[in-house]
């Protein structure tokens, strides 16, 4: 649904009052999707009475620095979800080594995918 005066960003736009109470977490308790102009929440795991309902406002970049920058720019939010808190305690060299291993794995995956597809390169989105 387009809101008068707002640009068409090619995605659902609107104001869902109840949904607006959900805070952000990279380890959310619900996933959200749209059916027409309805916003649907579906629990990812059991949610205890009184437990906060959280959604991920964005996709989840692997690099903690990218995630923090995205949330800061988009929502002026400093995320303190369990994933971000854990990574804040993780040494920088370990985070860099993790990122290096992810990139290495991507290269291997692309080579395997190209072999399976008979030389067609995999796109960068599909991992
Ligand atoms: Zn977080």
Residue-wise pLDDT tens digits, 64-93:
778 888 888 888 888 888 888 888 888 888
Indicate whether 106 pLDDT > 60: yes
Other beta carbons less than 10 A from residue 28's beta carbon = 21
**CA distance linking residue 67 with residue 27, whole number of Å:** 13
d(CA 55, ligand 1 centre) in Å: 11
Phi, psi dihedrals of residue 58, rounded to the nearest 5°: -135, 175
What pLDDT score does 60 carry? Answer: 72
Q: Mind listing the pLDDT tens digit for each residue in 4-51?
A: 665 565 666 778 898 989 999 988 999 988 888 888 999 999 999 999
**CA distance linking residue 52 with residue 41, whole number of Å:** 13
What pLDDT score does 124 carry? Answer: 55
d(CA 126, ligand 1 centre) in Å: 23
What pLDDT score does 127 carry? Answer: 43
d(CA 58, ligand 1 centre) in Å: 11
Q: Which tops the pLDDT comparison, 2 or 85?
A: 85
d(CA 79, ligand 1 centre) in Å: 4
What pLDDT score does 31 carry? Answer: 92
d(CA 25, ligand 1 centre) in Å: 5
- DSSP-assigned states of every residue in 48-69: -TTPPPEE-SS---SSHHHHHH
What pLDDT score does 11 carry? Answer: 65
**CA distance linking residue 96 with residue 102, whole number of Å:** 10
């Amino acid at each position: 649904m387009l809101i008068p005066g707002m640009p068409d960003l090619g995605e659902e736009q609107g104001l869902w009052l109840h949904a607006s109470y959900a805070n952000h977490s990279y380890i959310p308790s619900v996933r959200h999707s749209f059916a027409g102009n309805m916003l649907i929440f579906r629990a990812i795991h059991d949610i205890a009475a009184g437990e906060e309902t959280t959604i991920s406002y964005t996709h989840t970049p692997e690099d903690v620095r990218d995630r923090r920058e995205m949330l800061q720019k988009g929502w002026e939010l400093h995320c303190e979800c369990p994933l971000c808190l854990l990574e804040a305690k993780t040494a920088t060299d370990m985070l860099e080594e993790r990122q290096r291993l992810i990139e290495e794995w991507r290269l291997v995956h692309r080579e395997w995918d190209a072999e399976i597809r008979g030389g067609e390169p995999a796109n960068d989105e599909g991992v």
